[in-house]
Amino acid sequence: MFSTDGLVDIDNGIVSRDIFVSPEVFQRELDTLFTRAWLFVGHESQVANPGDFFTSRMGEESVILCRDKAGAVHVFLNSCRHRGMKVCRYDEGSTTLFTCPYHNWAYGLDGRLMGVPQYKQLYEGVLDKADWPLVEVPKLARYKGTVWATWDPEAPDFETWLGDARQHLDEALDCRDGRPGGSEVIGVHKWIFPSNWKFAAENFLGDTYHNPSHRSVDLIGIGPSAAAGVKGRRDNEMAKATHVWISFPAGHGIHSAIAPLGDTYQESFKDNPEIEAYFRHCFEERQRRKGEDARLIPFVGTIFPNTSYHGRQPRGLCVWHPHGPTETEAWRFFLVDADAPAAVKDFLRRYYMRYSGPAGMTEQDDMENWNYATAASRGAIARRHPFNYQQSITAASLDPEVLGYRVPGLVSTQVTEHMSLGFYRRWADHLEERSWDVLLGLGDTRFGSAAAS
């Protein structure tokens, strides 16, 4: 049986470099973690009409997200049942059939095997087409426009998996004016970088400690407004708020902030009255709709294992697809309110590109760290020396009130690495193929006796 002893020592805050470079650990992740966890596969706006498809990934494997003629959403393994050829080689599009390029078996949008060339002469009486559909995920969830799937039929439902992290993810998915859901994807950036996927996932658990990496972009004006005299990566966000770093029983971790009571809008887009009016309206309408809950301001988080989000600016979901022990394929899905004015969408699109992605000013800083850290951890000598995860790990407590606002989860109000340790605790449980009760953190005493959420 596989053991994570020697790889992660959660109680003492020690993590081996092997988990970031070892081919054996990587294969174990593919076999036991990415085959059971709920994974983000795409957004309903990418398959808005019957026949639409978006080719996505679950772990290293290609999957097709599509909408059938009746409007149902499916996720299929992108591999022909005959000899395994990809039945779809496009990134996205619209079709009536997935016809395999190799020998032309053809599958419907509901996955059924519809056509087999020369069926009568070669297969009749032997091959029953009903037995050979595309392989479909046993469980799929549609949540506020996002689509998630798991290969494990025994997995709990998606919202149980999310637990109280849902409150924070919602802030990325809901409209800027507080209406639930309503987002659309305005573009996906895809690129490969030479680092283990966990460096990125961990960064988004709330590694605020790495701010020195972004000193150059913090000294210039690349924020949303890009206005003269406004420095930093973001404009006025969270300036008056109290920050919280929270881990959740299933391994998710977030960094959000709680605004003071009676917070008011701060003018941010002085050079652009149309954009300014839009964001002022959204701020005030959100206060009105959400009341006390408008105090929760999202920043970043990672939904275990490999889906991260930026809740405010640049708003979106980032999936860190495992591509090899020391290689990751990043997909950033950029979100806007579907009914936002065209000028706002265009304005945000430009900001998102300025901040994120392979050419984004801020994302370049992060990747440089992950890439060099991976390269410098490969060596025989380096691997003898583990990483330190002891930052503020005793500072978190359960369900405190922050500025009078109750925040469920294991919460710290100072920069900490307890979310990373929570992540690696569940990561170890997955690699050791624990029961779903354990994977959900039930009975994890750090979360009290009722850790079901």
For ligand FES, the binding residues (CB under 6 A) are 80, 82-83, 85, 100, 102-105
Q: Choose the one of ligand FES, Fe ion, none that binds residue 144, judging by a C-beta under 5 to 8 angstroms depending on kind.
A: none
Q: Choose the one of Fe ion, ligand FES, none that binds residue 366, judging by a C-beta under 5 to 8 angstroms depending on kind.
A: Fe ion
Angle at CA of residue 193, ends 324 and 393, nearest 5°: 80
Least separation in angstroms between residue 128's CB and ligand FES is 16
Contact call for residues 242 and 257 (beta carbons, < 8 A) = yes
Between 55 and 272, whose beta carbon lies closer to ligand FES? 55
Between 35 and 62, whose beta carbon lies closer to ligand FES? 62
Between 231 and 385, whose beta carbon lies closer to Fe ion? 231
Between 82 and 280, whose beta carbon lies closer to ligand FES? 82
Least separation in angstroms between residue 100's CB and ligand FES is 3
Q: Choose the one of ligand FES, Fe ion, none that binds residue 80, judging by a C-beta under 5 to 8 angstroms depending on kind.
A: ligand FES
Between 99 and 369, whose beta carbon lies closer to ligand FES? 99
Instruction: Please tell me the count of residues contacting Fe ion according to CB under 5 A.
Output: 1
Residues 338-377, interacting with Fe ion (CB under 5 A): 366
d(CA 26, CA 60): 11
> Cβ-closest residue to Fe ion?
366
Least separation in angstroms between residue 73's CB and ligand FES is 24
Six token digits for residue 92: 């996205």
Q: Choose the one of Fe ion, ligand FES, none that binds residue 390, judging by a C-beta under 5 to 8 angstroms depending on kind.
A: none
Least separation in angstroms between residue 90's CB and Fe ion is 32
Q: Choose the one of Fe ion, ligand FES, none that binds residue 279, judging by a C-beta under 5 to 8 angstroms depending on kind.
A: none
d(CA 124, CA 110): 23
Q: SS3 sequence, 225-256?
A: CCCCCCCECCCCCCCCCEEEEEECCCCCEEEE
Q: Choose the one of Fe ion, ligand FES, none that binds residue 250, judging by a C-beta under 5 to 8 angstroms depending on kind.
A: none
Least separation in angstroms between residue 306's CB and Fe ion is 17
Please report, for residues 216, 233, 332, 351, 428, the alpha-carbon distance to residue 360 in angstroms, rounded to integers and kept in the order given: 13, 11, 12, 9, 33
Between 102 and 372, whose beta carbon lies closer to ligand FES? 102
Least separation in angstroms between residue 117's CB and ligand FES is 8
Least separation in angstroms between residue 96's CB and ligand FES is 17
Q: Choose the one of Fe ion, ligand FES, none that binds residue 290, judging by a C-beta under 5 to 8 angstroms depending on kind.
A: none
d(CA 258, CA 390): 25
Dihedral-angle region of residue 107 (phi above 0 means left; psi in -120 to 50 means alpha; beta otherwise): beta
Contact call for residues 396 and 416 (beta carbons, < 8 A) = yes
Q: Which strand (E) or helix (H) includes residue 441? A: none
d(CA 83, CA 176): 47
Contact call for residues 246 and 419 (beta carbons, < 8 A) = yes
The beta-carbon contacts of 230-238 under 8 Å, at least 24 apart in sequence, are 230/268, 233/355, 233/361, 233/362, 234/312, 234/313, 235/268, 235/269, 235/313, 236/266, 236/268, 237/297, 237/312, 237/313, 238/297, 238/299
DSSP 411: E
End-to-end alpha carbon distance in the chain: 29
Q: Choose the one of Fe ion, ligand FES, none that binds residue 69, judging by a C-beta under 5 to 8 angstroms depending on kind.
A: none
Least separation in angstroms between residue 132's CB and Fe ion is 46
Partners of 255 in beta bridges = 245, 300
Between 88 and 300, whose beta carbon lies closer to ligand FES? 88
Between 84 and 443, whose beta carbon lies closer to ligand FES? 84
Which residues bind to Fe ion, rule: CB under 5 A?
366
